[in-house]
Amino acid sequence: MPVEPLLSESEIRDRMAALGRQIEDDYRDRPLTIVAVLTGSLIALADLIRQIRIPLRIALVQASSYRGATTSATTLVINEAFAPDVTGRDVLLLDDILDTGQTLAALVRHIHDRGARSVRTAVLLRKVGRQVVPIEPDYCGFVIPDAFVVGYGLDYDDDYRHLPYVGILSQ
Ligand code: IMP
Ligand code: MG
């Protein structure tokens, strides 16, 4: 399927550098752990952490949502096999995209329950007009229109993650 470029490699690089500066200032002398949501935020994680020149730890969580067969309610299953202890740490939760907000909101609650000292959120992208859960990301790369996007970690059916830019997938 064709992918129409939306955000170029250099635009993303510049924005990541700016976010890095902001995070550096906000978390100086604090025990920062960046918890990245698999798999979509891996590229953003790798690029962002290299723009942050203060000590930090990284952790990974996986969150999968399942829609019930008989109801429209979704259940979020959280797998934290690669998430070290965040007790007393200042956690920055990193996801690829804020769409309905369900994933991020559930993960914020979960990490608070795990004993984190603080939990903030960072997203590469935020789609307008899609949110059902009120959550304001503390750091946001780009606000994008309501279209299905791929690349720079984001997938369609697990493809396209490796594209170095973000583009709109035309279906
Ligand atoms: P939310 O819980 O609805 O905010 O869902 C966020 C998750 O949905 C993201 O982590 C992505 O995995 C996926 N997602 C939402 N919109 C897109 C998109 O346009 N492209 C690729 N994945 C998306
Ligand atoms: Mg995802």
- In three-state form (DSSP H/G/I as H, E/B as E, the rest C), the secondary structure along 35-85 is EEEECCCHHHHHHHHCCCCCCCEEEEEEEEEEECCCCCCEEEEEECCCCCC
CA pair distance 157, 138, nearest whole angstrom: 28
Query: Is the Cα dihedral 64, 68, 71, 72 positive or negative?
Result: positive
Instruction: Supply the pLDDT for residue 64.
Output: 85
43 lines ligand 1 (CB under 6 A): no
Active site residue 95: no
CA pair distance 93, 122, nearest whole angstrom: 6
Q: Percent of the chain scored above 90 by pLDDT? A: 86
Q: How far is the CA of 79 from the centre of ligand 2 (A)?
A: 13
Q: How far is the CA of 30 from the centre of ligand 1 (A)?
A: 30
Instruction: Supply the pLDDT for residue 65.
Output: 80
Please check the confidence at residue 118 and state whether its pLDDT lies above 70: yes
Instruction: Supply the pLDDT for residue 81.
Output: 82
Please check the confidence at residue 115 and state whether its pLDDT lies above 70: yes
163 lines ligand 1 (CB under 6 A): no
98 lines ligand 1 (CB under 6 A): yes
pLDDT digit string, tens, across residues 53-73: 999 999 999 998 877 666 666
97 lines ligand 1 (CB under 6 A): yes
> What are the strands of the beta sheet with 166-169, ordered from one edge?
3-7, 166-169, 149-150
Residue ranges per domain, the chain? 8-64+77-145
The correct CATH number of 8-64+77-145 out of 3.40.50.2020, 3.30.450.20, 3.40.50.300, 3.40.50.10860 is 3.40.50.2020
pLDDT digit string, tens, across residues 91-100: 999 999 999 9
Please check the confidence at residue 171 and state whether its pLDDT lies above 80: no
Instruction: Supply the pLDDT for residue 70.
Output: 66
- Say which of 47, 90, 96, 99 is annotated catalytic: 99
Please check the confidence at residue 149 and state whether its pLDDT lies above 70: yes
